[in-house]
Amino acid sequence: MNTPNFSELGLSEPVLRALDDCGYTQPTPIQQAAIPIIMDGDDLIASAQTGTGKTAAFTLPLIDDIATRPAGKGDTPLVLILTPTRELALQIDENVKAYGKYTGIRTCVVLGGVPSGPQIDLLRRGVDIVIATPGRLIDLVEQGEMVLDDVEFLILDEADRMLDMGFSPDVRWIADRVPTPRQTLLFSATISSGIKSLASTVQTEARTVSVAPPASVADNIDQQVMFVRKADKIDLLINLLNRKKGGRFLVFTGTKIGAIQVARQLQNHGIKASAIHSNKSQVQRQQALAAFSKGKVRVLVATDIMARGIDVEDISHVVNYDLPNDAENYIHRIGRTARAGRAGVALSLCGIEDIPQLRGVERLVARSLDVQDDHRWHSTRVAACLTASTKAARSRARSGKARGSGSKWRR
Ligand code: AMP
């Protein structure tokens, strides 16, 4: 089956340009499934987890819709996105700003725990999209600062978490005040009876889509970790590349500057390497990818955002030069090796600053990575820090259980 690209999905030029800047080359499955439904104007229940690209799935068509309206923009919001947590609200806002950067779209994040003054000022100046946690939104509606009269799109993101956190009455209160007819989109990792009951009261004839959770780790990937001081990482990597004569290496750094620097240092040591990052044009990126897949370049250094479009066969090693902040990205990264049933190595270079991320990764993959300490840059100090941090976490978990506190949100 042919995968549509973003322009075939009908998105307009300013949005396509922004997606190109983000380095997105192809829509993810949830985007392929949800965007046409949203563009048709239908209500939607989407079962999709974080990491599937769900945020772009609902924000892209809405940004597109607002940006292409001939009548121009009013002052009160057209889109209301409800989320369970402040972190998620801020992340969505960041995404909307990135996707809407050529459209002049105006956003406002409404969340508790911070003074409401700046949020009220922003709302008074006029916004198109509000991203909110339920509690503060209700306060502002009650104070008359948040006007819901013109909202045409209501989005409930991570609806299952909102229900778990006890927000069901708040969500219903808000939905009752968003005028109909409207388009209501509900995204949730799981579709429980609670979600179905919520959907039946806030939606009309919703269409449903469901995508698989992000890929789990294939068995044929050998997951290793090396403890090493940050300053020694480059020497360790060069040594590794010199010892292993063959093989195609994909190296991940946390930042694009990091990617440029690592590629440059490898080149200085006679290793054929190049970096792909968002400062390069689409053509330059494609050239770098082509050189890598033809074997003209042995090492490709990339950031997470650039990696989504990399579909190169025969990557023997994925090296996490920096561990990813989001553990899900570890799975995306290492899934680039061991394609088509072949074996592959995923090697993480862990410094002290990477320890929290390593713990997150180990939690996610539910195992400890194999420690490779047979090299001259092995840092016992980093290894000891990991042990200490794991012990501390275990004891925190034990004392939490002993007091029976658990999460205050869990029922
Ligand atoms: P989400 O599931 O919305 O949290 O998205 C997970 C990650 O995927 C985020 O870092 C997005 O920036 C990224 N992302 C979303 N859509 C795409 C795409 N089509 N291509 C590459 N990356 C994407």
pLDDT digits (tens, 9 = 90+) for 316-348: 999 999 999 888 889 888 988 877 667 899 999
Same domain, 385 and 324: yes
Q: For 39-52, write each residue's pLDDT tens digit.
A: 999 999 999 887 78
pLDDT at position 278, please? 75
Short-list 112, 57, 65, CA closest to 90: 112
User: Has residue 120 got a pLDDT over 90?
Assistant: yes
Q: Does residue 59's CB lie within 6 angstroms of at least one atom of ligand 1? A: no
Give the nearest ligand 1 atom to 51 CA: 2
Name the range with the highest mean pLDDT among 61-70, 134-143, 339-348, 368-377: 134-143
Mean pLDDT, rounded, for 381-394: 79
pLDDT at position 403, please? 39
Same domain, 246 and 386: yes
Q: Is 408 helix (H, G, I), strand (E, B) or coil?
A: coil
Question: What does the block give as tokens for 292?
Answer: 């890598």
Strand ranges across the sheet with 344-350? 273-276, 299-302, 249-252, 317-320, 344-350, 221-227, 370-371
Mean pLDDT for the chain overall: 89
Integer angstrom CA distances of residue 387 from 250, 382, 390: 28, 9, 5
Same domain, 126 and 146: yes
Domain range enclosing 380:
221-392
Give per-residue burial for 348-380: e unless 16+ CB within 10 Å, then b.
bbbbbebbebbbbbbebbeeebeeeeeeebbbe
Q: Does residue 50's CB lie within 6 angstroms of at least one atom of ligand 1? A: yes
Mean pLDDT, rounded, for 188-195: 91
pLDDT at position 244, please? 85
Same domain, 206 and 225: no
What CATH number should be reported for the domain holding residue 71?
Answer: 3.40.50.300
Pocket test for ligand 1, best of 5, 15, 22, 60 (most atoms within 8 A of CB): 22
Cβ-contact 138, 174 below 8 angstroms:
yes
Residue 2 located in a structural domain: no
Same domain, 306 and 194: no
What does the longest C-alpha to C-alpha distance in the chain come to? 68
Same domain, 201 and 327: no
Q: Does residue 308's CB lie within 6 angstroms of at least one atom of ligand 1? A: yes
User: Has residue 406 got a pLDDT over 70?
Assistant: no
Residue 152 located in a structural domain: yes
Q: Does residue 24's CB lie within 6 angstroms of at least one atom of ligand 1? A: yes
User: Has residue 204 got a pLDDT over 50?
Assistant: yes
Question: What does the block give as tokens for 33?
Answer: 């499934």
User: Has residue 1 got a pLDDT over 60?
Assistant: no
Q: Does residue 30's CB lie within 6 angstroms of at least one atom of ligand 1? A: no
What is the CA(27)–ligand 1 centre distance, in A? 9
Give the nearest ligand 1 atom to 55 CA: 3
Name the range with the highest mean pLDDT among 21-35, 60-74, 198-212: 198-212
Same domain, 178 and 291: no
Mean pLDDT, rounded, for 144-164: 95
Q: Whose CA is nearest to atom 16 of ligand 1?
A: 53
Pocket test for ligand 1, best of 16, 21, 24 (most atoms within 8 A of CB): 24
Same domain, 120 and 243: no
Q: Does residue 28's CB lie within 6 angstroms of at least one atom of ligand 1? A: yes
pLDDT at position 80, please? 98
Q: Which of 191, 210, 229 is the last residue of a domain?
A: 210
**Domain total for the chain?**
2
Residue 127 located in a structural domain: yes
Same domain, 247 and 295: yes
Angstrom distance (rounded) from CA 400 to CA 388: 18
Angstrom distance (rounded) from CA 359 to CA 350: 11
What is the CA(57)–ligand 1 centre distance, in A? 9
Q: Which of 210, 237, 259 is the last residue of a domain?
A: 210
Mean pLDDT, rounded, for 54-83: 91
Same domain, 248 and 282: yes
Residue 401 located in a structural domain: no
What is the CA(80)–ligand 1 centre distance, in A? 21
- Least confident segment among 104-113, 295-304, 311-320, 401-410: 401-410
pLDDT at position 365, please? 78
Residue 42 located in a structural domain: yes
Mean pLDDT, rounded, for 159-187: 96
Reported as a pLDDT band with limits 50, 70 and 90, residue 73 is: low
Residue 103 located in a structural domain: yes
Same domain, 202 and 243: no
User: Has residue 411 got a pLDDT over 70?
Assistant: no
Same domain, 121 and 193: yes
Q: Which of 182, 210, 238 is the last residue of a domain?
A: 210
- Least confident segment among 276-280, 290-294, 355-359: 276-280
Q: Whose CA is nearest to atom 15 of ligand 1?
A: 53
Reported as a pLDDT band with limits 50, 70 and 90, residue 259 is: very high
What is the CA(331)–ligand 1 centre distance, in A? 13
Q: For 216-243, write each residue's pLDDT tens digit.
A: 677 789 999 999 999 999 999 999 999 9
* DSSP for 194-230, written as a single string: HHHHHHHHH-SS-EEEE-PPSP---TTEEEEEEEB-G
Q: For 82-105, write each residue's pLDDT tens digit.
A: 999 888 899 999 999 999 999 999
Q: Does residue 54's CB lie within 6 angstroms of at least one atom of ligand 1? A: yes
Give the nearest ligand 1 atom to 305 CA: 22
Residue 23 located in a structural domain: yes
